A and B are shown apart, each in its own frame.
Chain A
Amino acid sequence: MPHAPRTLPALLAGVLLLSLAACGGEQSTSTAPSSAAATKKITVYSGRSEELVKPLLDKFTQASGITVDVRYAATAAMAAQLLEEGERSPADVFFAQDAGALGAVAKKGLFAPLPADVTSRVPETYRARSGEWVGVTARARVLVYNPGKAPEQELPASVFELTDPKWKGKVGVAPTNASFQAFVTALRVQHGEDRAKEFLAGLQANEPQIRDGNGPILEEVDAGTITVGLINHYYLGELAKERGVTPDQLTAKLHFFPGGDTGALVNVAGVGLLKKAAANADAKAFVDYLLGAEAQAYFAEQTFEYPVVAGVTGPAGVPALGELQAPDVDLNDLDELETTITLIKDSGLVP
């Protein structure tokens, strides 16, 4: 039997004992799930990234004196967790990456309607008709392209053109991404189920470059390994930030489909109040803050998203929200996802 490792397990055992003690200590200081509302403290479930949200929450806490406990996870996993927790969820607020997840939670009846003074600040297009959630920021679907591979003048005027043999093997898509699903739903709403089905079949037949997120598509378009890709507009800003350059300095450029084409759908990231927080002033103050000028400007500057509240300057380097020729689609009509999912599954774009 080797001698050296005999001391290691002993060492390990020591560490484990210490850590157990530490764990016990940690438990006493960690949030007991029920105590959230008692003090000036709220619990937020965030499907949005900590890197983006945390600085904003710090500002909120500084300004209001309300402590925010935040759980971060991918929006889909967070929605699944909320649905599993049901009425006993420790969460007061759900801050989601896209309207679909908010719709799924609302459908289970877990949200309390927001007061009218909150919802009225957001244009009707960007909030739930029932008032169960409101949009906080808007993001546009775009076609990102590599000018070296596809000159600007050759870009399609409509997303439907991407099924043309001309684009065979050149289009990057992320079909499991929630914003792609919203886009397909919008196709159904605008053009009917048959047309949507036809488009997906055409896209699949055109051998698209399938990735599991918008980020990888953008990187590959920027590098020139993919010619064009369907993504959300703000990814360009994120990549530029990581590279330490302005969005203009990246090779990849954004193309906004003109003339109300479904390809230029504008979706939102939004927020809803869980039922237990219906009368929680602190939680409402948080939603108010997200819709306030400071937060809205922060999103525009830091996450390159469009503010949804009037009077706040939009992100640099992209056309203003008002100038976008977005399709005429009501986001409330996008919560019927089942047919969309069947369409996407049947198309063969996903496993």
Chain B
Amino acid sequence: MRKRAIRLRPVMLTMAVLAVAVALLPVGYLAIRTAEAGWDKIAAELFTVRIVRLAVTTVSLTAVVTAGCLVLAVGSAFLVVRSDLPARRLFAVLAVLPLAIPTYVAGFAWRSTFDGFEGFWAAALVLVLCSYPYAFLPVAAALVNADPAQEEVSLALGRTPWQTFTGVTLGQIRPAIAGGGLLVALYVLSDFGAVSTLRADTFTRAVFVAFDLGFDRTGALVLSTALLLLALVVLVAENATRTVGARHASLRGSRRPPTLIGLGRARWPVAVLLTATACLSLGVTAVSLVRRFAEGVSRPRGWAEVAEALGNSVVLSAAGTVLTMGLALPIGLLVARGPGRTARLLDRLTYISHALPGLVVGLSLVFFGINVAYPIYQTPWLLALGYAALFLPLGVAATAAAAAQSPPVLEQVAASLGRSPLTVLRTVTIPLLAPGLGAGAALVFLACMKELPATLLLRPTGTDTLATSLWRSTSVAAYAAAAPYAGLLVALSTIPPLVLAARAGVLQKPRKRNRS
């Protein structure tokens, strides 16, 4: 058989394999270290009642938080996008802002606000409140883009609005729900902040305890391997919910914006309910931070240092974002343009390390830096690579979604007009993907800004970011000194969610349906 005509694919494939290799660095590291541990040690760590207990807690927490996030996300997204809720755009912003709050900050705030607030359900609540935007964003975007004609057909056939919602609307946005659920589930598996401050005994907490407890690296890494297996289960489960075949956006005409559903008498009570959610997800942390700042007398060592930390945060996160999106682009394009077993496998592989705690990913990069890439060890480049290994799935998901929105026929037209594959990439593919890539970049940037354990391990010596400065101050109870860093971190982190909300279309002015 002769070679295929489109020559860009082998290049893309090579780049995608390279990107996956980066994402799999931690897996390779764990394989090496786990093998070193020896069978006896592995058996001693794994075949215990404790592991069963940890697994049950981890799985339950993941399930509860994912379910909670999906209910909250789908509910609020539907209200914000499809109902005549007052101040819809404000609620849209409030629904994405929790992304700006690191779970270690939120856990600490809840803990110090409510006496005895700890354990499984406490951690579950804080995790739901912190991570439901991961599901809200794709679901809201899908609702904005869903074809209202299908719902109208359903209503015309005599289905009630509720039957239409469950039978038609949920079906339309199912891929978004599955994708959002996957991100939330993997996030919960990897989260350390909430489970450690609120004491929920999950694998991740056990991994950190193992490091603390007698500096038991091997034990910690064996536990991490067990965590990887759980991540695989989640990935397979999500895969099972997917329908076959990528759908491309239709080119025909301009789509009608969705019509709004009148809430009637429920309008204000629903608004109050959403306000209460925002108070829980944002208010508790905000009040607690302000109070800490007011009570303490410690202060940062000078605004120059705060400014420097801010600058470092922006630069390092930006470097991480550029690298992550650069690596994500070929995978996302492959998934959207050449759906097949290879592309699918490469895509899934990037998700695996997403479930690993930052500390383990950080250590794997230390291992890589010391043994393979010594010249870039403790430089911004290795840290950027660490961010890429941690957050690649966020970029891949955004790129693939954006690529699916831009029909491949446009690229063929461009080629037929005499433009080379690279020119087509530059003048058609990338510009069309730009908003989607921007949204992915915003999400990755945000994640890099908040990341702490891997940053501590990989940053250039003497470089402080907002997150490390925050950690530095809180670790010696200098909460007031920490406040400006926390404030700046949260303030800066609110920009990406706003970009994301705008991208999802939930900030657009709605068209109101006449109520009759």
Query: Interface of A with B (CB < 8 Å)?
Result: 1-2, 4-6, 8-10, 12, 15-16, 19-20, 22-23, 26-27, 30-33, 43, 49-52, 69-74, 76-77, 79-81, 83-86, 88-90, 100-101, 104, 176-178, 181, 210, 212, 215-216, 219, 225, 235, 238-239, 241-244, 337-338, 340-341, 344-345, 350-351
| Distance in Å: Cβ of A34 to nearest Cβ of chain B | 8
Write the chain B residue with the least CB distance to A245.
B297
Interface string of B187-209 (1 = CB under 8 A from A): 00000000011010110011011
- Is B378 within 8 A of A31, CB to CB? yes
- CB closest chain-B residue, reference A15: B318
The 10 closest A-B pairs by CB, nearest first: A9-B438, A351-B201, A244-B297, A19-B318, A337-B214, A104-B215, A341-B214, A30-B460, A5-B502, A73-B456
B217 touches A (CB below 8 Å)? yes
CB proximity to A under 8 Å, residues B280-326: 295-298, 314-316, 318-319, 321-322
A20: chain B residues within 8 A (beta carbon): 318-319, 322
Partner of A84 from B201, B315, B367 at Cβ < 8 Å: B367
Number of B interface residues at 8 Å Cβ cutoff, please give it.
Answer: 81
Q: Which of chain B's residues has its CB closest to A68's CB? A: B462
A51 & B363 in contact (Cβ 8 Å cutoff) = no
| Cβ contact within 8 Å between B461 and A2 | no
Once bound together, how far apart are the Cα atoms of A2 and B297, in whole Å?
46
Alpha-carbon separation in the docked complex, A30 to B312 (Å):
13
Tell which of B315, B461, B475 touches A90, judged by Cβ atoms closer than 8 Å: B461
Question: Hey, which chain A residues are within 8 Å of B502, CB to CB?
Answer: 2, 4-5, 8
Verify B211–A27 contact, CB threshold 8 A: no
Contact of B297 among A89, A177, A243 (CB under 8 A): A243
B214 and A340 within 8 A (CB): yes
Interface-located stretch among B67-75, B149-157, B478-486: B478-486
Closest chain B residue to A177 by CB distance? Answer: B212
Check A1–B217 contact: CB distance below 8 A. no
> In B360-381, which residues have CB < 8 Å from any A CB?
363, 366-367, 370, 374-381
Beyond A33-B374, A86-B370: 16 further Cβ-contacts under 8 Å?
Answer: A9-B441, A23-B315, A23-B381, A43-B461, A49-B475, A51-B472, A72-B468, A83-B215, A104-B215, A176-B212, A176-B213, A212-B199, A235-B477, A242-B478, A344-B213, A351-B57
A6 contacts B434, CB within 8 Å?
yes
User: Which of B111, B199, B297, B438 has the most chain A CB within a 10 Å cutoff?
Assistant: B438
Residues of B364-418 whose CB lies within 8 A of A: 366-367, 370, 374-381, 384
Contact B363 A9 (CB under 8 A): no
B213 touches A69 (CB 8 A): no
Q: Which of B116, B460, B461 has the most CB of A within 10 A?
A: B461
Instruction: State whether A212 touches B196 (Cβ < 8 A).
Output: yes
Q: Given the known inter-chain contacts A243-B295, A340-B214, please indicate yes or no for A5 contacting B477, CB distance below 8 A.
A: no
Please name 15 pairs of A and B residues whose Cβ atoms are closer than 8 Å in the assembled complex, sorted by A: A2-B503, A2-B505, A5-B438, A5-B499, A12-B441, A20-B322, A26-B380, A30-B461, A51-B476, A71-B459, A71-B462, A72-B468, A83-B215, A101-B215, A177-B212
Task: Name which residue of chain A comes closest to B379, CB basis.
Answer: A27
Task: Name B109-143 residues within 8 Å CB distance of A.
Answer: 111-112, 115-116
Q: Which of A23, A31, A88 has the most CB of B within 10 A?
A: A23
A60 to chain B, nearest CB (A): 15
Partner of A31, one of B216, B461, B468, B475: B461
**B508 in the interface, Cβ–Cβ < 8 Å?**
yes
What is the minimal beta-carbon distance from A57 to any residue of chain B, in angstroms? Answer: 11
Is residue B334 contacting chain A, with contact meaning CB distance below 8 A? Answer: no
**Is A80 within 8 A of B363, CB to CB?**
yes
- Chain B residues with CB below 8 A from A340, complex form: 214
List chain B residues, Cβ under 8 A from A30: 378-380, 460-463
Closest to A6 in B: B435
| CB–CB A242/B296 < 8 A | yes
**Pairwise interchain contact A73-B457, C-beta atoms closer than 8 A:** yes
Chain B 76-87 against A: per-residue CB contact (8 Å), 1 yes, 0 no? 000000000000
Give chain B residues whose Cβ lies under 8 Å from the Cβ of A351. 50, 53-54, 57, 201-202, 205-206, 209
Q: Are B435 and A1 in contact (CB under 8 A)?
A: yes
Q: Which residues of B contact A (CB under 8 A)?
A: 50, 53-54, 57, 111-112, 115-116, 196-197, 199, 201-202, 205-206, 208-209, 211-217, 220, 295-298, 314-316, 318-319, 321-322, 359, 363, 366-367, 370, 374-381, 384, 434-435, 437-439, 441-442, 453, 456-457, 459-463, 468, 472-473, 475-481, 499, 502-503, 505, 507-508
A241 to B209, CA, bound (A): 29
Contact B480 A27 (CB under 8 A): no
**Given A43-B461, A210-B199, A351-B201, A85 contacting B499 (CB threshold 8 A):** no
- Cβ-defined contact, B213 with A345, below 8 A: yes
- B461's partner among A70, A215, A338 (CB-CB below 8 A) is A70
Question: Which of A4, A15, A238 interacts with B476 by CB under 8 Å?
Answer: A238
Is A85 in contact with B463, judged by CB distance below 8 angstroms?
A: no
Q: Are B378 and A33 in contact (CB under 8 A)?
A: yes
Q: Do A341 and B216 touch across chains, with their CB atoms under 8 A apart? A: yes
Kindly list chain B residues whose C-beta atoms are within 8 Å of the C-beta of A69: 461-462
B319 close to A100 (CB less than 8 A) = no
The complex places the Cα of A90 from the Cα of B478 at a distance, in Å, of: 30
* B439 contact set on A, CB distance < 8 A: 5
Cα separation A84 to B378 with both chains bound (whole Å): 14
Please indicate which of the listed interface residues A72, A81, A83, A84 has the most CB atoms of chain B within 10 Å of its own CB: A84
Whether B211 contacts A77 by the Cβ 8 Å rule is: yes
B381 touches A85 (CB 8 A): no
In the bound complex, residues from chain A placing their C-beta under 8 Å from that of B359 are: 77, 80
- Most B Cβ at <10 Å: residue of A26, A50, A212, A241: A212
- Among A30, A32, A80, A89, find the residue whose CB has the most chain B CB atoms closer than 10 A: A80
A88 to B374, CA, bound (A): 9
Residues on the B chain within 8 Å of A31, using CB: 378, 460-462
Instruction: Write out the residue numbers on chain A whose beta carbons fall within 8 Å of the beta carbon of B370.
Output: 84-86, 88-89
Set of chain A residues within 8 Å of B374, measured between Cβ atoms: 33, 88
Query: Which residue of chain A has its CB nearest to the CB of B296?
Result: A242
* B455 nearest CB neighbor, chain A only: A73
Q: Are A90 and B377 in contact (CB under 8 A)?
A: yes
Q: Which residue of B lies closest to A101 (CB)?
A: B215
| Chain A nearest Cβ from B191, distance in angstroms | 14
Question: In the complex, how many angstroms separate the beta carbon of B292 from the nearest chain A beta carbon?
Answer: 9
Minimum CB–CB distance from B144 to chain A (whole Å) comes to: 10
Task: Give the residue name and chain of the B residue nearest to A220 (CB).
Answer: B115
Nearest CB in chain A to that of B442: its residue: A12
Given contacts A19-B319, A52-B476, A178-B212, contact A9 B435 (CB under 8 A): yes
